[in-house]
A and B are shown apart, each in its own frame.
Chain A
Amino acid sequence: MRRPLRLLKGMARDIIASRELAWRLFVRDTSIQYRQTVFGYFWAVFPPLVTSMVFILMNHSNLLKMKETGIPYPVYVVMGTVFFGLFSDSLMAPLKVVNGSKTMLVKINFPREALVWAAILQTFMGFSIKLVLLILTMIIFHVPVKITSFIVPVPLLGLLLMGITIGVFLVPFGILFQDVMYGLQLALTGLMFLTPVVYPPPSNGLLAKIVAYNPMTTLLMSARDFMIKGSSIYVMDMMIVIIIMILLLFIAWVIIRIAFPIVIERIGT
């Protein structure tokens, strides 16, 4: 922090130097993750599938009656959970990758940016598999996609950015204290219900206010709207959220560069 120019130079150098390593780490983590399993890559699909099934069943049996969503409810829920999954995966990924590389971190000085890149790649990978689930659901329920679908990657990128940014911010503290990991898992469950993932945005009540101020709503709803409606009232908000996230990610990046040497000495050998 005391020598900002040198810091920036180092950052530029390391982000370039870390690409190949990031790919290796990604390949390593993916292989480890699925090599000792029977179902392999299906494990990426199971969580959103199960969550969706629960809500579809509850809605179907009138236990939880949702407002009209404009499209078949199963498609609405699957889309919501898949998109929200992108956020939650990218939120958890940085800490997971860092924890998985702890032994290397304390022994070898390699560009730490590689860990963040690897986290992004992993999230992408998981998301691509889940996307297959979404497309299948849409085909089954004959839901056509709108031409504006090509904009969908923008809000999706926003979701990824938001998850990664918060995730990176938490990495230094997450290395020191396991509490961060436990807390994150808990917070995600709560956050899912404060975001219109399984229900359409409510128009009144306390929840309506929370949902309206939740930046996740903007990103999630605009992605949905561009996919099936063809227009969205959230465009401006979405752009603002994305710009803020890019700035925050830069700050988070600076912070982890400063933080790593301090944190590493605390976790020892």
Chain B
Amino acid sequence: MDEDTFIKVEHLSKKFCRNLKKSLWYGAKDLVWEIAGQRRGHNILRNGEFWALNDVSFEVKRGEMLGLIGQNGAGKSTLLKVLNGLITPDSGKVTIKGCVQALIELGAGFSPILTGRENVYINASVLGISKTKIDQTLPYIVEFAGISEFMESPVQSYSSGMKARLGFAVITQLDPDILLIDEVLAVGDTAFQEKCMRRMDELRQSNKAIIFVTHSLYQVEALCNKALWLDRGRVVQYGVAGDVVRAYLDNQERLAIDQSQKEGKIYEGHITLATKAYFEKRSREGKGGALVTRFSNTEELIQIRKVEVSDGCGKVGNEFPFLTDLTIRIYYYALARVTRPLFNLRFFSKGYSIFEASMLIDGHGLEWVEGEGIVECTIPALPLTPKLYEIKLFVRSGEGICDVSITRTIAQFRITDDRLERVPLRGPMAVNHMRQGSPVYFPRIWKFYDGDGITLLKKIEAGYDHES
């Protein structure tokens, strides 16, 4: 095995059973055979069994991050469990070099009746962190979790978000060579998720091998080098993250179109007809406005129907040249009359929020909206460097306090290195550095002075559309 290969999986297969009673019975039989030192029929399916993993092969090297994608039940979690040694494969070979740590669930085994502090110690020690280390880092853990005033309360009084925070704070103390992460980022609020993403990026840069299960394709493309697409236990595609993600997206779109054709459905957004009728009736009676303050998470007053991202020439797509006039067109449907809606577009790169186009700053447009409508935001000469970006949208009501549409990712796009020469690229690593460095480009002026601080020796100007 290669020196830098941390995980190598060859022709791995694992079978599961759908029926509980049968499964338990097979388990007992396997147990007896295994104790007798023999293996029987591990290559054939018994009645009611299926392959949860079927002939899976891949490898992960030092400093690499592999994203596992696929629909629910594709075998992603099973694969992590096999790699973690929780369950043994039925056939195939798994070679692992180094210390493995798995985050299959945050705060697994928290006892509801014990306090946060007690649970931190138990959780840490289950994960193999010594008491002395926890004693030292407890203040840091408490700070990361941000729940200091609850540390002495029983965990049963915590919200699920608080539990997740505490769980993640503990695992930030781990220092394994190989990290297996199973959708732990799916919990918690947006701020917490960003925190987790940043931590993952740090871990990847510290030369660990990471395997990461997620349903966010953006995260896979932004964080992972490679991706493995599983479907019903089989590898569909394995390779460079971007390629796999694109193939997976294509496939999903095809499936969705097939599905809607089969059902003969017309896309109606997320509203049921009954709710729509109710709100329409209320707004006809002039009661619509009152609903803004009675908003609950389950009924968003402004539904997003469709989002189009286009370049300066109006060409819709998801790949744009550098310094394009980016236009985001949002087709919405207001269930009731919403006064002075404030739209906010937040741009993300690798989990960091980098820029915001917000009506909370710029001010509202219309006095009120109701029913269908379109809002468009154009950012002239978008100064983002070639990378993958994500846009999240939330809509606030007039006073700016209440969300009428919760934060969600509405678009992902890529800036290509096309037309990069609109800025001067004089440096030795200009293009590569633009691609891999920070996301935002601002015009700047450099000056060299003599020791006296007055005599100007040299001036370099870098800005948009320089004369080349």
Interface residues of A (CB under 8 A from B): 1-2, 17, 20-21, 24-25, 27-28, 31-32, 35-36, 101, 103-104, 106-110, 172-173, 176-177, 255, 258-259, 261-266, 269
Contact = CB atoms under 8 A, between A and B. Distances in A.
B24 A261 contact: no
B260 to A, nearest CB: 32
B194 interface: no
A24 B121 CA distance: 8
13 contacts: A1-B35, A27-B118, A31-B113, A32-B111, A36-B113, A104-B126, A107-B105, A109-B102, A173-B28, A176-B27, A258-B35, A261-B85, A261-B88
Interface in B82-122: 84-88, 100, 102, 104-105, 108-109, 111, 113-114, 118, 121-122
Contacts of A262: 27, 30-31, 34, 87-88
Nearest to B121: A24
B87 A108 contact: no
B127 interface: yes
Contacts of B108: 103-104, 107-108
A1 B28 contact: no
Given A108-B109, A255-B35, A266 B86 contact: no
Contacts of A101: 109
A20 B130 contact: yes
Contacts of B102: 107-109
A20 B131 contact: yes
Contact of A31 (B16, B86, B118, B130): B118
A24 B109 CA distance: 13
B109 A264 contact: no
A116 B27 CA distance: 22
Contact of B86 (A35, A36, A259, A261): A261
Contacts of B127: 108, 110
A27 B85 CA distance: 27
A27 B126 CA distance: 13
Main secondary structure of the interface of B (DSSP, over half): mixed
Interface in B28-84: 28, 30-31, 34-37, 77, 81, 84
Given A109-B86, A258-B35, 7 more contacts: A21-B125, A21-B128, A31-B113, A259-B35, A262-B27, A262-B34, A265-B86
A268 to B, nearest CB: 9
Nearest to A175: B27
The 9 closest A-B pairs by CB, nearest first: A104-B109, A1-B37, A266-B27, A107-B108, A265-B87, A24-B125, A261-B88, A107-B104, A21-B125
B23 interface: yes
Contacts of A32: 111, 113-114
Given A104-B109, A108-B127, A28 B35 contact: no
A17 B37 CA distance: 26
B301 to A, nearest CB: 37
Contacts of A269: 77
B337 to A, nearest CB: 46
Given A104-B109, A108-B102, A176 B86 contact: no
A31 B87 contact: no
Contacts of B23: 266
Contact of A264 (B16, B26, B86, B118): B86
A261 B89 CA distance: 9
A24 B117 CA distance: 13
A122 B27 CA distance: 29
A109 B31 CA distance: 19
Nearest to A110: B126
Nearest to A106: B86
Contacts of A24: 121-122, 125-126, 131
Contacts of A31: 113-114, 118
A8 B28 CA distance: 24
B160 to A, nearest CB: 15
Contacts of A35: 113-114
A258 B126 contact: no
Nearest to A177: B24
A2 B37 contact: yes
B122 A25 contact: yes
Contacts of A259: 31, 34-35
A191 B24 CA distance: 29
Given A104-B108, A106-B86, A258-B35, A263 B113 contact: no
B104 A263 contact: no
Contacts of A103: 108-109
